[in-house]
Structure 1
Amino acid sequence: MKSPNEPTLVVPRPQVPHRDLLQLQVLPDEAQLRADIERLRREKNAVILAHNYQRPEVQQMADFVGDSLGLSRQAAKTDAEVIVFAGVHFMAETAAILNPEKTVLLPDLRAGCSLADTLTAQGIRDWKAGNPGGLVVTYVNTTADVKAESDYCVTSGNAVQVVQSLPQGMPVLFAPDRYLAAHVIRETGRQMDVWDGACHVHEAIRPEDVQGQQAAYPDAELLIHPECGCSSKILGTIPELQLYSTEGMIGRAKTSPAQAFIVVTETGMVTRLEKDVPGKTFIPVSRTACCEYMKMITLENIRDSLVNLQPRVTVPEEIRVRALKPIERMLAIG
C-alpha cells in the first residue's frame, strides 16, 4: 500500500516530434568533401581562388590564396574554364569582369561586403556632377556598377602607388573606405574628397584591443592593416609604424627579426601567415575580428557549386566593359 508521504508520480503524455522543426542533417565527412572537390576540380577544369580571410580548411583546399589584387591577377591569367571564388560577391564580380567567357561561381550568394554596400554608382555620379573633370579612385571592394563609374581601382597594396601616379591639379574622390583614404593621404600628401565608408570588422577593432595584446605580448611586432579604425590613433603614439596590406604583412613577417606578431586585421589572416611564415608566432588582435560574410564559404558549398555549376555570378556586358577599364589600369600600375 502507498505510504502517505510517498510522492505521486506524474506520467507525461507521449511526445510526438514536430516534424516541421526536425531538420537533422548528417554532418559532412571532411575527407570525403576534399576528395569530391579534387575530383570535380579535375572534371570541370576548375580553379579555386580563396581570399586571406577564408576559413582555414577553405584556404587549404584552394589553388591560390591571396588578397584582392593577387586574386584579380590570378583570375586574369587562369586557363581554367570554371573559377570558384571563395570570397565575397564583389570579388566574384571582378573575376567575371576579367573573364566573361568563363563560368564564375560564388558558393554562397549571401557572401556580401559591408564596405561595398556603403557606395552606389549614383553616389559617384553625383560627385562627378559637382566636380567636372575629376577623377574617381575606388577600392576594389566595390560592386561592378560602381567600378563602371570609376577611373581607377585600387587595393590596399597599391592604393598609394596609384594615387601617386595621378596628374596634379584636379579633384579626386577616394571611395569608399575612409581609413584607407587617410593612409593614402598621409603617404602621398594628396588632398582628396573621401567617401564616408568602412568595413564593419576593421572599424570595430579598437586601440584598446591593440594595446591589450601589446601588454600581453610585449616583444611582438604590430602588423596593422590600413582599413583598421584604430590605425590613426596607434600611429599617434607610434608615428614610425608602417601599415601593411595583407600581402605586405607576409613580406614583413618574413624579413623582420621579430619572432611574434600581433595581426591587426580579420582573423583569417593568421592562417595564411602561419602557412607562409612557419616557425613564427601570430596573434590575432581580437577573436571577434571575424567577417561573417567571408566565413559563409565552406567546403560543402564549394563541392555543391562544382556539382551544379551554380550559383553563377555574371555582369551585364555594358557594365562589364566599362568596369574593366579601371581594373586594367590598376593591374597595369602594380
Structure 2
Amino acid sequence: MRMVGLAFARSAAWQANRPFFLTMATYVLAVAFAASYWQIPVNPRIYSKPFLLFGFGVALIYFSIIGVRVMLQRPEQLFPALLHRLSETDLRDRLVIGVPVAATLPVFFSLFSSLKAGISRIVPFYADSTIIVVDRMIHGGQDAWRILHPLLGAGPLTFTLNFCYNLWFVVMFVVLFCVTFSTGDKRLRSQYLVAFVLTWVLLGNVAATMFASVGPAFIMPFYSDDTFSPLMDYLQTINGVYPVWALNAQGMLLANAALDGPRLGGGISAFPSLHVAVVTLNAIYLWRFGSVVRWASIGFLIAIQLGAVHLAWHYAVDGYASMLGTPMIWILAGRLANTQPIVKAASKVG
C-alpha cells in the first residue's frame, strides 16, 4: 500500500509539474548544445548551497508561525494539535507537488548563470552605443538618469532605492516558493512556473546575447567611455555617507568578468533588465490577489525600474523592453501550461 502511495505521489507530482519539467528539459538540452558549441564552462551546482539555506530558512519560518499559532490556543496536547493544523494547510499535497520543482530550481539558476557568464564567448559586447542612442531618443535627447536625478539625487532616496533593489532577491524567492508549494489554482501555478523559466531564458539568455551590452556602470571599463562617469561619481560620493551596495556588487561583477568560468551571481548583461522582468511577472501574477498586494507589486515594480537607472545598472529602455516582453511570455506560458492536463490528484495520496 505504501508503494502504491509513493507511485501515486510521483504521478501526481509529474502531472502537476509536467509543463514546467518539459520546459526545463528543453532548456537543459539548449544549454548543453550552447556549452558544447561555444565552449562555455557550465557548473550545475553554483546555487545548491544558497538554495538549501534559503529553503531551510523558509521552512523554519513556516513551521515557527504554525507552532506559535497553535501554542497560543493552549491545546491540551501540543503535538497532535500541530499535526492537525499542518493537515489543514495541505502540507502533504504541497510537498508532493512542490519539492520536485524546488529541487530543480538550483540547477536551473546554475545553468542560467553559466550561460550568462558565457555571453562574451558567443558574441562580444557591442550594443551599448545603439541602446544609448535609442534611450536618448525616447527621453528627448537626454540620458534617463539625468531626468531622474533632480528627483532622486539625494542620499536617503538613493539608499532607499538601493535597499529595494537588494530586497528584490528576497521578494523574488518568497513569491517563487509560495507559488511552487501552492495547491490552489494549479493551472495558474503551472503558468507562473513556466513563465518564470521562460522569462529568465528568453530575456536573460537569448535577448541578452542578441543585444549584448554591459550597462552604464561598466561603460568605462569595457569601452573607455566616460558618458556615465558623472552618475558613477555621484554614487561614489553618496557612498561615503549612505551605503550604496550596488557599487560593491558592480565591483564584484567586474572582477569576476576577468576570471574564467561561472560564479555565484556572476555574468554581466544590461539589455533587457531581468530585475524589471521578474517584478513585472510577479505584478501580473499578484494582480488577482486584492488591492493591497496588487498595488504593492506595482509600487515595487516602479521602485525597481527607477533603481535600475539611478544605480547605473541599466538604461531605462532595458526596463521598458522587459515590461513589454514579460506579458507576452506570460501569455505564451499560459498556452504551454494548458497543453497538458493539471490533475488534482495529490490530495488523494495515502
Higher relative contact order (CA 8 A, sep 6+): 2
| Structure with bigger gyration radius | 1
Give me the TM-score of the superposition, normalised by structure 1.
Answer: 0.24
Normalized per residue, which structure has more strand? 1
